[in-house]
Amino acid sequence: MTNQELLDLLRCEVVPAIGCTEPIAVALCVARAKEKLGAEPDKIKVLLSKNVYKNALAVGIPNTGMTGLPIAIALGATIGRSEYMLEVLRDATPQAVAYAKEYMQRVPADIQINYEAPSILYIHAEVSCGDKTAQATIQDGHTHFVDEAVNVGEAVNKGEAVKTGDVLTLRRVYDFAQEVDVEDVTFLLEGAEMNKQAAETSFANEYGHKLGRLLHGSTLKQTPQLQQLFGDTIFTKIVSYTCGACDARMSGAMVPVMSNSGSGNQGISCSVPVYLYARENNCDRELTLRALALSNLTVIYIKQSLGRLSALCGCVVAATGSAAGITLLMGGKYEEITYAIKNMIANISGMICDGAKPGCALKVTSGVSTAIFSAYLAMQHSYADSTEGIVEDDIDRTIHNLTRIGHDGMQVTDDLILDIMTHKG
């Protein structure tokens, strides 16, 4: 891929989002079907792949104080605008939310899992008003519509989702980060600042498990036990900001974040640690932008063979990107970056995804902490080698071993996770 193609890929995959992207994508699909219908639906049916359903089950929906799919669908059907894409619920004012809550009682959505869905990321919405019907389908990407129709008959094919195939290597990713005109990737710096601001929202409120707030600034200093354990360090600051942003968005804060590969938590975890490490160590703007490009594109590279959704927690992938970016900021070159990634894969490659929820902040903390340790060890030329587990001498084979486990090896795990989640008590 040329540098321009990689830049286009970054711009396609690193975009703003409000709320957890799975229920937001469901709201987006419903909103598009409603727009095709041309009226507020009096009947809604939604078919979802297992992974979309899993990630939408328990996560907060922005500005509602509620979790899960029914309110997301109601908002999509009432005030959602598909032109906003992953910010489809941007207009969810208190008045709009109040109406949506009444609407969901009057028009309860029929939500079903499609166990034979053609893609791991699949959303199909059918809406009706009187004798008129419309439908829309999202597949492969959170904003990729593959068909839409009125009076459900002939679907309009919208084409293939953007796919990169097996064309990237870590060396190509590294070279791009070294060669790109940094003025072309300033949006990555803006996105990192956006994600930092999301964290600051969590420090002023009580979202989720409040881990970011507990580890941040004045709260930390007011808790002698935490102060003694963690101290007011760069490490603690990175952890608090990263998991704080996750605390906010998983609990439904009405704040935008810059996502990566369809995930806000991935966007947070691959940008905030790199951005804060650079700022706290007075790294110059150019180096910071190159590190952000390396981190974000590393995530995209890994996701191309792992897939959009899987039983492997996305923070493993995103924190691996951060490990690469932080190693670059520490003065590392390609060799040290491969060491950092091997350390990551040797450590947290078995972390499962059991749906989007406030507890994701805990997993993000584990990932970011490991990224910092991995980068530091890499700079000492201490790393997991080919005698250890799934690590190989070749870094790309090591990465593909990770993604094979997540994509192929954990399919039964994914089914078991969903079964447990839907049969509690």
194 falls within a domain: yes
266 token code pair:
């991935």
Please tell me the total count of domains within the chain: 2
Length of the chain: 425
Q: Do 130 and 176 share a structural domain? A: no
Task: Scan for tokens 């071993």, then name that residue.
Answer: 401
Distance CA 340, CA 327 (A): 7
Residue-level pLDDT at 76: 97
Residue-level pLDDT at 162: 43
Residue-level pLDDT at 159: 39
Q: What is the DSSP letter of 87?
A: G
What CATH code is carried by the domain that includes residue 289?
A: 1.10.4100
Distance CA 131, CA 377 (A): 65
Q: Do 363 and 318 share a structural domain? A: yes
Give how far Cα 339 sits from Cα of 19, 210, 372, Å.
34, 33, 13
Q: Do 209 and 103 share a structural domain? A: no
Mean pLDDT of the chain: 92
Chain centroid to Cα 105, Å, comes to: 30
What CATH code is carried by the domain that includes residue 83?
A: 3.30.1330
- With a CB cutoff of 8 Å and minimum separation 6, the contacts of 106 are none
155 falls within a domain: no
38 falls within a domain: yes
- Residues 118-140 as b/e (b if ≥16 CB within 10 A, e otherwise) read ebbbbbbbbbbeeeebbbbbbbb
- With a CB cutoff of 8 Å and minimum separation 6, the contacts of 76 are 26, 27, 28, 29, 30, 31, 34, 88, 89
Contact 384, 270 (CB under 8 A): no
Neighbours of 179 (CB within 10 A): 11
**For residue 120, what are the domain limits?**
16-150
Q: Do 213 and 146 share a structural domain? A: no
Amino acid in the structure at residue 213 = R
At residue 421, φ and ψ (nearest 5 deg) are: -65, -30
* Long-range contacts of 335-339, Cβ-Cβ distance < 8 Å, separation of 24 or more: 336/378, 336/379, 336/381, 337/170, 337/174, 337/294, 337/378, 338/170, 338/395, 339/377, 339/378, 339/381, 339/382, 339/383
Residue-level pLDDT at 164: 43
Q: Do 194 and 51 share a structural domain? A: no
- With a CB cutoff of 8 Å and minimum separation 6, the contacts of 209 are 247, 358, 359, 361, 362
**Secondary structure class of 156 (helix, strand, coil):** coil
Torsion of CA 16, 18, 23, 28, to 10 degrees: -70
Q: Do 223 and 317 share a structural domain? A: yes
**Secondary structure class of 139 (helix, strand, coil):** strand
Give the DSSP H/E element, type plus range, for residue 123: strand 122-129
The residue out of 120, 150, 180 marking a domain boundary is 150
Q: Do 193 and 228 share a structural domain? A: yes
Residue-level pLDDT at 152: 52
Q: Do 258 and 334 share a structural domain? A: yes
Q: Do 250 and 352 share a structural domain? A: yes
Residues of the chain with pLDDT under 50: 153-166
Q: Do 98 and 29 share a structural domain? A: yes
Q: Do 192 and 134 share a structural domain? A: no
Q: Do 175 and 56 share a structural domain? A: no
131 falls within a domain: yes
pLDDT digit string (tens) for 261-288?
999 999 999 999 999 999 999 999 999 9
Contact 50, 350 (CB under 8 A): no
